[in-house]
Amino acid sequence: MGLSLDEHLTLLKKLEEKGLLDCTLEAPFILIFPILSAPGHCFGMAVSSSVYYIDPSLKPVQKDTYAMAKDDALWDIDFYQFLAYGYSGSVQDLSSALTEIKRLVDSGVPVILSLAPSGVPHAITVIGYHEESDETFLIVYDSNAAVYTRVYTIIDGNLLCEWKDKPINVTKVEIFNPQTLPKPISSIDFENALKRIFELYFGIYIHCPINVEITSAEDMKLIVANNTVIRNDFIDSYVYLTTNDRLILLPANRTYKVEALGTENGTTNIECVFRTGDEILTYKFENITTFNNTRLYLPSVKSETLYIDLNGDEVIDQELNAIIIPEFPSNIIWPWLILTTLIAVILWKKSKRRVYTLKKVLIG
């Protein structure tokens, strides 16, 4: 089951409406879409089906789980898929985990197992088991084959299964007890889950059909032109493109400069998201008028100033300062504290603002 950007934005609106996500975290939440969409929705589907089994009253529609349409359970599946980044199960050798798996299944609780065949995370649900001689057979629900159950064999601590039509052995698993996870409609710590992600990544969100070139200090590059990734030297990165949007996540252990080239007359917005200390910051550059050959420069993804060369003649015509949005969840901090801290942060940022010359911008 795939996830569209529109569905992800619908989830964002639901979380904000229910008070589960502060509006200051809109840009970070949108920017995690390339991660959430890349591996599919196996964890969300495994947990949702398990939660429905334990408490059928939580079903969004009262019908058998297998008979639900995609739209029936989409909210819950998306909700739990995100939780994969906010919760950790117990990572164990399969041989030692088997006792706990059997205990939970015997008590009527499905068990979510997170595997990593060939390094790719995948979640399945154990709904039964059978023992015979020196073998244990796990009966599982696997979203990769949702129309039937599968039986996996365990011999000497090795789970024998297939991944992309190739036989593999799995020796370590991460166990999740669905009883310990939040109900579909409940308050969870979304902020900390986002902090975990942006400890690892920088995010760049560009709202415009514009060409982009991002260069690291090591001269590695990500180039997007004509709505296509032309080059990407960053293995641990995520890029999602639509006609009008560029969502980019880059490893946070490097430094980058960004250059964007206008291809038509229009308006561009750029948002850079990163973690500083214990907070997530969003730098917003809004309503940037661009023309064909207009060049936009950020000497760093943490730059508070965007430099604009309107006609591509390598002369800076305009400078635009960022709107800085700190992460201050309104549901846990008093309004007066939000206001005073916001003012303090902005004044501190302004005091550190540096003016870059065109030469420094162009050559880093």
pLDDT tens per residue, range 302-337: 999 999 999 888 899 999 999 999 744 433 333 333
Which of the given ranges, 157-171, 306-320, 332-346, has the highest pLDDT on average?
306-320
Q: Which residues pair with 229 in a beta bridge?
A: 224
Q: Which residue has the higher pLDDT, 208 or 275?
A: 275
List, in order, residues 6 or more apart from 292 with CB less than 8 Å away: 262, 263, 264, 265
Mean pLDDT, range 334-343, rounded to an integer: 36
Q: How many residues are recorded in the chain?
A: 364
Please say whether the structural domain 90-180 has been given the CATH code 1.10.287.
no
Question: What would the two tokens of residue 142 be?
Answer: 């696997």
8 A C-beta contact, residue 357 and residue 56: no
8 A C-beta contact, residue 36 and residue 8: yes
**pLDDT digits over 57-89, tens only?**
888 888 888 788 777 787 788 778 777 766 666
Question: What would the two tokens of residue 344 be?
Answer: 């303090």
What is the chain's mean pLDDT, rounded? Answer: 80
pLDDT of residue 215 exceeding 80, the answer is yes
Order of strands across the sheet that contains 158-163: 90-93, 172-176, 111-115, 122-132, 135-141, 150-155, 158-163, 166-170
Instruction: Work out the angle between the directed axes of helices 70-83 and 190-198 (0-180°, nearest 10).
Output: 60
Q: How far apart are the first and last CA of the chain?
A: 43
Residue ranges per structural domain of the chain:
5-83, 90-180, 202-363
Q: What's residue 194's pLDDT? A: 86
